[in-house]
């Protein structure tokens, strides 16, 4: 199996993988030994899970419910579509990269199909599921409180999305109904594991692609020359958890944003610029210039555009990196649908 990034979502086949036998041939299928515990363990690691199975949804889903497993699966694709199409749909609906998906399927032809059309996806033989937790790509590395609640947070996101689709009116009017509240504070010791997790897991919305260990983050949090902040978000549906992280290097005349990360779960809520706006206000109060490092990773252009829309301009460039600067003459107001609180 090829080297892959850390897996964010495991996608399960059903027949011969989660249960023994073929459901359409025998309705009395039996759950494979150890599978339920494996699914619960992955959930506790903060790894999302879904289903891609060629089956009748109205027949298969009640079986998963009777096995008390249905609640673990997000955006299940139980239909007669090709396996690659189902896997792609799950990744799109979760908003995560194909290279962070793993398919577990007992049929080699299904795995080969996915590998042909979606070579970024990791394909695992369902017969090897007993050794699944030993795979390096599924090692949790860091398990935080946010990680343990990740599935429930995604399920809350699904409820929000359903509400938005049914809402009759403009998008900003819908966002107003959410009552979003962002809290920005210095990273304390209890925040550092989640901060480390964000640097490890977040690829698309990371301004530099840099990762930091717990010890490195702890040193930076205690450094008088740095400012390490975390942003937490909640609304009427519940908590999103810690959704933002920024690291600022400070000197007497200029501050530099060395890292800015936003969780992919909140970028559609229009909050990506809020943390930047907060830093702009801090820099203005401190009487210093505000600059930002940006490194092109091939996946993080959205963060570059967030800087640009916030009023940053390029100061210096190299082949794969940019230093941006804001003149602080005009700072965009926070969106009217979100309240911002500082706990410094």
Q: What percent of the chain has pLDDT over 70?
A: 96
Least confident of 108-112, 127-131, 255-259, 303-307: 127-131
**For the chain, domain boundaries:** 9-138, 145-343
Burial status of residue 173 (CB atoms within 10 A of its CB: 0-12, 13-18, 19 or more): exposed
CA 91 – CA 12 distance, rounded (Å): 13
Question: Does 3 score more than 70 pLDDT?
Answer: no
CA 107 – CA 114 distance, rounded (Å): 11
* pLDDT interval class at 1 (50, 70, 90): very low
Predicted local distance difference test score (pLDDT) of residue 6: 80
Predicted local distance difference test score (pLDDT) of residue 128: 73
pLDDT digits (tens, 9 = 90+) for 243-268: 999 999 999 999 999 999 998 778 77
**What is the fold, at CATH topology level, of the domain defined by 9-138?**
Rossmann fold (3.40.50)
CA–CA–CA angle 170, 176, 177 (5° rounding) = 100
Note the pTM of the prediction, 2 decimals. 0.75
CATH architecture of 145-343: 3-Layer(aba) Sandwich (3.40)
Indicate if the alpha-carbon torsion angle 315, 317, 323, 324 is positive or negative.
positive
pLDDT digits (tens, 9 = 90+) for 97-110: 899 999 999 999 99
9-138 and 145-343 agree in CATH topology:
no
How far lies 86's CA from each of 34, 90, 165, 258, in Å? 25, 6, 22, 38
Mean pLDDT, all residues of the chain: 91
φ/ψ bin of 158: left (φ > 0), alpha (ψ from -120 to 50), beta (otherwise): alpha
315, 323 Cβ separation under 8 angstroms? yes
Least confident of 115-119, 164-168, 270-274, 319-323: 270-274
Q: What share of the chain is helix, strand, coil (3-state, %, to 5)?
A: 40, 25, 35
- 179: its two tokens: 């009552």
- 331: its two tokens: 């700072």
pLDDT digits (tens, 9 = 90+) for 148-187: 889 999 999 899 989 999 999 999 999 999 999 999 999 9
Predicted local distance difference test score (pLDDT) of residue 222: 95
Interhelix angle 272-286/301-309, rounded to 10 degrees, is 50
Question: Does 201 score more than 80 pLDDT?
Answer: no
**Alpha helices in the chain, H assignment, sequence order:** 35-45, 57-66, 83-94, 108-117, 145-148, 150-166, 171-178, 189-201, 214-221, 272-286, 301-309
* pLDDT interval class at 5 (50, 70, 90): low
SS3 14: coil
Q: Which residue has the higher pLDDT, 340 or 26?
A: 340
* pLDDT interval class at 141 (50, 70, 90): low
Question: Does 241 score more than 60 pLDDT?
Answer: yes
Q: Compute the chain's Rg from CA coordinates.
A: 22
* pLDDT interval class at 189 (50, 70, 90): confident
CA 200 – CA 217 distance, rounded (Å): 13
């Amino acid at each position: 199996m090829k080297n892959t990034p850390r897996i964010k979502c495991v996608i399960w086949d059903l027949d011969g993988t989660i249960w023994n036998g073929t459901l359409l041939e025998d309705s009395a299928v039996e759950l494979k030994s150890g599978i339920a515990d494996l699914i619960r363990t992955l959930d506790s690691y903060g790894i999302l899970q879904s289903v891609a199975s060629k089956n009748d949804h109205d027949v298969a889903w009640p079986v998963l419910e009777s096995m008390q497993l249905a609640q673990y699966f997000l955006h299940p694709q139980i239909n007669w579509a090709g396996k690659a199409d189902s896997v792609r749909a799950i990744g799109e609906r979760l908003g995560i990269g194909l290279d962070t998906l793993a398919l577990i399927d007992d049929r080699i032809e299904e795995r080969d199909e996915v590998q042909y059309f979606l070579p970024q996806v990791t394909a695992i033989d369902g017969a090897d599921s007993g050794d699944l937790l030993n795979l390096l790509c599924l090692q949790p590395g860091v398990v935080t409180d946010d990680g343990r609640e990740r599935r429930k947070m995604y399920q809350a996101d699904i409820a929000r999305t359903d509400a938005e689709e049914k809402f009759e009116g403009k998008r900003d009017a819908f966002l107003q109904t959410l009552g979003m509240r962002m809290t920005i504070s210095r990273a304390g010791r209890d925040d550092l594991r989640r901060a480390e997790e964000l640097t490890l897991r977040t690829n698309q919305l990371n301004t530099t692609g840099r990762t930091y260990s717990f010890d490195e983050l702890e040193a930076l949090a205690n450094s008088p020359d740095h400012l390490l902040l975390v942003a937490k978000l909640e609304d009427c549906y519940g908590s999103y958890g810690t959704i933002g992280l920024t690291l600022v290097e400070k000197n007497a005349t200029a501050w530099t944003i060395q890292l800015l990360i936003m969780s992919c779960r909140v970028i559609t809520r229009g909050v990506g610029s809020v943390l930047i706006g907060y830093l702009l206000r801090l820099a203005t109060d401190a009487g210093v210039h505000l600059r930002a490092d940006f490194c092109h990773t091939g996946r993080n252009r959205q963060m570059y555009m967030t800087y640009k829309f916030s009023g940053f301009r390029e100061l210096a460039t190299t082949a794969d990196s940019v230093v941006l600067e804001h003149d602080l003459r005009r700072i965009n107001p926070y969106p009217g649908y979100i309240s911002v609180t500082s706990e410094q």
